[in-house]
Structure 1
Amino acid sequence: MAAATVLPAPSEPEPQAENESVGTVIIAGLANLAIAAAKLVAGMLSGSAAMLSEAAHSFADTVTEVFLYVALRRGGKAADEEHPFGYGKESFVWAFIAALFTFVGGAGFSIYHGVTTIMTGEEGGDYLLSYIVLAVSFVAEGTSFLRAKRQVAGASRKWGITPYRFLRLTPDTTVKAVYFEDSAALIGLILAAVGLGLTELTGSEFWDGLSSIAIGLLLLVVATILARANVSLLVGRAVPRRMHNQIADDLAGIPVVTSVPTLLTMQLGPGDILVAAKVDFDDDVSGAEIEEASDEAERRLRARYPGIRYVFLDPTRGKAGRNHRDGGVDL
């Protein structure tokens, strides 16, 4: 990201963004539950490994949406004496558990069932119902995906970055999870349809089993991406580099500030950021002026980035112009 470009602050209030995320998760969960039941029936009647893998995929996604809903609710709790910085990181915990469930429940079953089908070579039944279920599922998953895509596109426009970079940088793990899971679901449906078609054309169950394995590997990739993102946030990830540099410039731009030798940031939750900095104030200013400058710094930062909840400034010695730039996450 270019350091010279200013990130605009989101104009939409956080409660609306949270409600949008909740709606996205609920719609995705209901769609996945209905689709999973239909796929299971079709898979049992046809004996298709790919269809049963898709059923496991959708059931895993349904449970994942439950975890993501819990993440939104638990992570949004207000701060208290026991957790003075709030419960934002709990949303990362539940999102990480959701990723693990996708890894075990979806990918594990799909790969195992695919290998078993290839080894045993069991013949399937009539695939017509499976094709119908796959078509209906594609429409339902596509509807859920389009909602997630609109949310990602809207958020990326507010930040002035591409949707791809937004997905890499955003701490909103619920939106990221729904987007990637719906994308994987659409690709999985195509893989299942190809597997069924090749099985019918060749009469070999190898293609059905191979399709099931491909679906499992797809889920494995998605689970790994989401798990890594959540681990990074749980450990205490900094803000993006462009935001870090803008914070440093805002602090250094206060008249009585000589330099900002150390600037530390941390994502406390999907919408909460902590800023801690060592600031060198002009040696000639009074304590009252330092207090006034500190208040001004907090006002500036919160006006530009409403997600900043805590600002801690530590007066320290430094050298003029020696500011801590190019910190944060550069993705």
Structure 2
Amino acid sequence: MSRSTAHSPTDRHGTARTPGTQDPPETSRAPDGGHGPDGAGARRGQDSRTAVTVFVALGANLVIALAKAVGGIFSGSPALLSEAAHSIADSLNEVFLLASLKRSRRAPDDQHPFGYGKERYFWSLLAAVGIFVMGGCFSFFQGAEALSAGSSEDHSGYLVGLAVLGVALVAEGSSLVRALVQVRGHAREANRGMATELRRGDDPTLRTVLAEDSTACLGVVFALLGMWLHMVTGQVAYEATASFLIGALLVYVAYRLARESRGRLIGEAIDPVQRREFRRFLESQPEIDTVTTLLTMRLGNDSTLVAARVDLFPGLDSEEVEEVLVRVKTAMAELWPHADQVFLDVTDASAKDRAKARADRRELDETVAAVEREDDGA
């Protein structure tokens, strides 16, 4: 017997439609940080808060970029000009991120039947490229040029530059605090600590803003130290070193963001804890004998594809099989609203299939145990 059926709830962003939905198990954690029938509403609220966070960062960076550029031209400081390029890159990236928030919410269509959730990962990848090219490469260029050209700054230029960087540090710090407050809220909703949320949070837009603000604050500190040491010692090498450090910092952050976006664009599985919950739920159904295969893929922040091959206990006719599959998939959509694309394939499991299923289950348990140990140590 081999019959494949598919179930897609009418709300492709994960809202359960059945009244009286049962509460999910206490261990249940959705990738979007929410679960239950209000998951989609919670996600929209998180998107609204993320948009505000991005707007705050964009406004701060535009003002700071202008101030740094004017101060850098006036003082001739390579470190300050590097920071100006950094802020310009961040401003452009935040425009990308705002576009991702809007475009990823578009409804599915014939060309994109699973929706546009991966738009977030694409625009986050563009933001990473922007950080690398406009921020990192320009900073290295400024450092090399400073070493080859020497310095002609006077003390008035130093003072202007230091004042601009002091104001920038306050503005960037305010934006960073806003992003951290939102991350803390996400961590509370997902019942995990801040450190775990920073490592495993699923909103690429928020993670990019947080990375930008963090590197911006650290970059300003590097520039302040470089300019101050240059002023005290008269050695331009200190500012050149600050530019190189800023460039290296931006290249590293761009690499991390690009690697994360790449993984999700090419089809990344969801959290192993969540995969184990899916497997345990399926195995707990009285009609299911063995879950031979369980595959998952992120389709967006609030959309997940789940594909499983299951072997049912004998004695069920075709109509009963249909009822079982519909019931199981409906229950999964109610417990985990983000699991909005569920495909179950009924198959006869061989002895080899059963052995592989046991090995997969052990491997998944070991992966989850490793993740939990990492979380406990954070």
State the TM-score, normalizing by the size of structure 1.
0.93
2:343 alignment partner, SS class: strand
Given that 1:7 and 1:160 are in contact with CA atoms closer than 8 Å, whether structure 2 keeps it comes out as no
Distance 1:8 1:89, change over 3 A: closer
- Is 2:35 the partner of 1:14? no
Give % identity: 38
Using the TM superposition, give the Cα deviation of residue 312 of structure 1 relative to its aligned residue in structure 2, in angstroms.
Answer: 0.4
Map of 1:299 onto structure 2: 330
Residues in 2 aligned to 1:232 and 1:164: alpha-carbon distance in whole angstroms: 21
Runs of 4+ in structure 1 deviating by more than 3 angstroms, as ranges, are 319-324, 326-331
Given that 1:107 and 1:215 are in contact with CA atoms closer than 8 Å, whether structure 2 keeps it comes out as yes
Map of 2:304 onto structure 1: 273
- Is 2:332 the partner of 1:311? no
Judge which range, 192-201 or 289-298, deviates more: 289-298
Residues in 2 aligned to 1:218 and 1:124: alpha-carbon distance in whole angstroms: 26
Residues in 2 aligned to 1:271 and 1:171: alpha-carbon distance in whole angstroms: 9
Map of 2:13 onto structure 1: none
Map of 2:91 onto structure 1: 62
| Letter aligned with residue 259 of structure 1 | T
Using the TM superposition, give the Cα deviation of residue 5 of structure 1 relative to its aligned residue in structure 2, in angstroms.
Answer: 8.4
1:82-124 Cα offsets, whole Å, 9 max, x none, are: 1100011122111111110110010000011111101211222
- Is 2:267 the partner of 1:248? no
Given that 1:302 and 1:308 are in contact with CA atoms closer than 8 Å, whether structure 2 keeps it comes out as yes
Given that 1:8 and 1:304 are in contact with CA atoms closer than 8 Å, whether structure 2 keeps it comes out as no
Q: Aligned-pair RMSD on alpha carbons?
A: 2.0
Using the TM superposition, give the Cα deviation of residue 301 of structure 1 relative to its aligned residue in structure 2, in angstroms.
Answer: 2.3
Using the TM superposition, give the Cα deviation of residue 243 of structure 1 relative to its aligned residue in structure 2, in angstroms.
Answer: 0.7
Identify the match of residue 94 of structure 1 among 115, 118, 123.
123
State the TM-score, normalizing by the size of structure 2.
0.82
Higher RCO (C-alpha 8 Å, min separation 6): 2
Residues in 1 aligned to 2:29 and 2:114: alpha-carbon distance in whole angstroms: 25
2:340 alignment partner, SS class: strand
Residues in 1 aligned to 2:65 and 2:169: alpha-carbon distance in whole angstroms: 12
Given that 2:61 and 2:90 are in contact with CA atoms closer than 8 Å, whether structure 1 keeps it comes out as yes
Map of 2:9 onto structure 1: none
Residues in 1 aligned to 2:210 and 2:110: alpha-carbon distance in whole angstroms: 35
1:3-43 Cα offsets, whole Å, 9 max, x none, are: x9823441562211111121111111111111100111111
**Ranges in structure 2 where 5+ consecutive residues have no aligned partner:** 1-24, 372-378
- Is 2:174 the partner of 1:143? yes
| Letter aligned with residue 211 of structure 1 | A
Judge which range, 320-329 or 288-297, deviates more: 320-329
| 1:5-44 correspondence to structure 2 within 5 Å | 6-9=27-30, 10=34, 13-44=42-73
Equivalent residue pairs, number:
328
Using the TM superposition, give the Cα deviation of residue 59 of structure 1 relative to its aligned residue in structure 2, in angstroms.
Answer: 0.3
